[in-house]
Structure 1
Amino acid sequence: MRESVEVSGLVLRPWGAEGDVGAVLEAFAEPLMRWQAPQPVDSVEDARQWVRARGAQWEEGGAFSFAVVDGRGGDGAVLGNVTVSAVDRRHSTGWVSYWITRAARGRGVAIHSCRAAARWAFDDLGLFRLELGHRVNNPASCRVATAAGFAAEGIQRQKLLYDGVRYDVESHARLATDPEPTAP
């Protein structure tokens, strides 16, 4: 199983490099990012634990998180994260999630990362179906999902709860047999 993937000037690699803790702390300082972690990431120690947890999940084989890094070799600036989680080997399914730093948004980073992670999950993990979901009030995430080849499948009413507010979620899926999406 490959542990890194190169695509469109980006490298997807496991979390754990020297600068990852600072990059995670900086990314989670943005208010909207608070929803992207199970616990707040407010300190260097929180960020260190977040990075360690990604490594432990990888070792356990249930979730595979990639730092999305600018440039060849995997030592450029961290631009985001893409994860294949909830891996169910019996049914060959997984769940894709991602976040992109404010500085990297609008450059196609999320689209390329999701496409590369999906191809990796199909080829390296042998998965057949990948799912993802986004709040219906997040049209940018919908554009990413669609451009990454994930077909919309329906609305899950009031699935997510953030700060006491319930949000509907649009579900998407991509199958290993689906055609590769065209360039964004």
Structure 2
Amino acid sequence: MRESVEVSGLVLRPWGAEGDVDAVLEAYAEPLMRWQAPQPVDSVEDARQWVRSRVEQWEEGSAFSFAVVDEHGGGAVLGNVAVSAVDRRHSTGWVSYWITRTARGRGVATHACRAVARWAFDDLGLFRLELGHRVNNPASCHVATAAGFATEGVQRQRLLYDSVRYDVESHARLATDQDPDPEPPAP
């Protein structure tokens, strides 16, 4: 199984490199990231634990998280893309991602999702990948569809943030689906 993937000027590599703790701490300092985070990342120790958790999940085979790194920008971390909830019996997994504020709008999330999907099909042998986003998040919907994930439906009031329930649109991509046409990332 390959532990890194290169695509469109990006490198997807497992978390754990020097500097990753600082990158995670910086990413989670952004208000939108903090709002959506399942647990706060408020300190260097929180960020270390976040990175350690990703390394442990990889070693257990339960989830595979990649730092999305700018190959040409000095190796700056631009985000995270992951395949979690891996079910070997049914050959399924759940794709999630986050992108730093400075990298948004450049196609980074789309390219990372395409690459991690191809990796999950080819290297993990998965057949079906799922992802979901709040219906009030059109940017995530664009990422999902541009990465080849077909819309499957809406899960009503699935998520709860600040006492408000949000509908989630579900998407899936199958190993037998045609790969989406490549789009170069924006400069």
The list of structure 1 runs, each at least 4 consecutive aligned residues, that deviate by more than 6 angstroms after superposition, is none
Per-residue deviation, 1:37:
3.1
- The whole-number CA distance in structure 2 between the counterparts of 1:173 and 1:83 is 15
Paired residue for 1:143? 142
CA distance in structure 2 between the aligned counterparts of 1:165 and 1:176, rounded to whole angstroms: 35
TM-score norm. by structure 2 comes to 0.95
State the alpha-carbon separation in 1 of the partners of residues 53 and 111 from structure 2: 24
Q: Equivalent residue for 1:66?
A: 66
Q: Please, what TM-score do these two structures have when normalized by structure 1?
A: 0.97
- How many corresponding residue pairs? 183
Tell whether the 8 Å contact from 2:36 to 2:161 is kept in structure 1 after alignment: no
- 1:94-153 deviations in Å (ceiling 9; x for gaps): 000000000000110000000000000000000000000000000000000000000000
Identity, in percent, stands at 87
| Aligned-residue offset at 1:4 | 0.3
Asked if 1:127 corresponds to 2:126, the answer is yes
Q: Distance in 2 between matches of 1:80 and 1:12?
A: 10
Give the residue type in structure 2 aligned to 1:71: E
**Unaligned stretches of 5+ in structure 1?**
none
Which residue does the alignment assign to 2:80?
81
CA contact (8 A) 2:28 2:41 kept: yes
Change (3 A) 1:35 1:54: farther
* Equivalence map 1:31-42=2 (5 Å): 31-42=31-42
Q: CA RMSD in A?
A: 1.2
CA contact (8 A) 1:36 1:99 kept: no
